[in-house]
Structure 1
């Protein structure tokens, strides 16, 4: 996985720089995200690995499947990826691009899993508290998992805050077992 990220990084940086210069971060992010999902599909991955299919046709296929009106710069970017046989890196390029964009815009996506369904007011208060703590604009996605018994688990990137009853019981069991 680290190798893919290493290979994808220069392409993601180049795309991000081009998007910034054109003031089209949202458009580029949209196309790259959709293209990343398409390229991650098993059937498409097999197609991308097929040396019998022209690389530029592969790029056009992926761009066409995004159903977006891609700019000339985006089309050129995809053709460069195709020329260098790097279309398979699209999922990783999209992830890196979105990470760079979130850093620039100081935003963060947070997943909250709670034992019970959170009300809109609770979600808003939690988002506000996390926004203050992380010094970022927070986009919150809440889900429910009754197996937590009580409390919440907050996930963003590699940060996980387990404030669930199940998590606390697991910690106690580990402490008693050692």
Structure 2
């Protein structure tokens, strides 16, 4: 996975710079998201990997499938990816583009998992605290997981804050066993 992101990063960065300069970040993000979603479909994935089709045919087919969101620049980008045999990188490119977009907007996606449903006040307090700590606008998504026993696990990018009872018990067990 890390290798894919390493190869995808220059493409994502180049597309992001073009989108930023032209003021079309949202449009590109939407287009890349749709293209990435489509390229992981098994039948299309197989067709895109078929050497019987030329790079231009693959790019055109993908652009046609996603015609509602694919711009002329998007088609040119798809052709460049196809010529370089990089269409399979679209999911990683889309993910990296989203990271560049969030960084540009000084925003961050945060997922938190709690043992119990949090109230609206608790959720707002958590979002405010995280926004202050991370110096970013926080986009929260939440879920509940009773196996945490209590507390919360917060994930954003590479940062994981495990304040769950399950996590604390695991650390305690590790300390006892070592």
Q: TM-score, normalization: structure 1?
A: 0.93
Cα displacement (A) at 1:105: 0.8
Q: Which runs of 5+ in 2 are unaligned?
A: none
Q: Could you list the per-position Cα deviations for residues 80-136 of structure 1 after superposition, in whole angstroms to 9, with x for gaps in the alignment?
A: 112222111101111111111111111100110000011222111111110000000
CA distance in 1, matches of 2:3, 2:47: 21
- Which SS does the other structure have where 2:163 is aligned? strand
CA distance in 1, matches of 2:26, 2:68: 12
Q: TM-score, normalization: structure 2?
A: 0.93
Residue 30 of structure 2 corresponds to: 30
Relative distance call for 1:109 and 1:79 in structure 2 (3 A) is same
Q: Aligned ranges for residues 6-85 of structure 1 at < 5 Å?
A: 6-66=6-66, 68-85=68-85
Cα displacement (A) at 1:161: 0.4
- Which SS does the other structure have where 2:122 is aligned? helix
- Which SS does the other structure have where 1:153 is aligned? strand
Q: Which runs of 5+ in 1 are unaligned?
A: none
CA distance in 2, matches of 1:124, 1:62: 41
CA distance in 1, matches of 2:34, 2:74: 13
Q: Say whether the 8 Å CA contact 2:107–2:137 is kept in structure 1.
A: yes
CA distance in 1, matches of 2:171, 2:6: 36
Structure 1 window deviating more from structure 2 (70-79 vs 17-26): it is 70-79
CA distance in 2, matches of 1:43, 1:117: 40
Q: Say whether the 8 Å CA contact 2:30–2:69 is kept in structure 1.
A: no
CA distance in 2, matches of 1:80, 1:6: 18
CA distance in 2, matches of 1:124, 1:58: 46
- Which SS does the other structure have where 1:109 is aligned? strand
Cα displacement (A) at 1:67: 5.4
Residue 126 of structure 1 corresponds to: 126
- Would you say how many aligned residue pairs link Structure 1 and Structure 2? 178
Residue 167 of structure 1 corresponds to: 167
Residue 100 of structure 2 corresponds to: 100
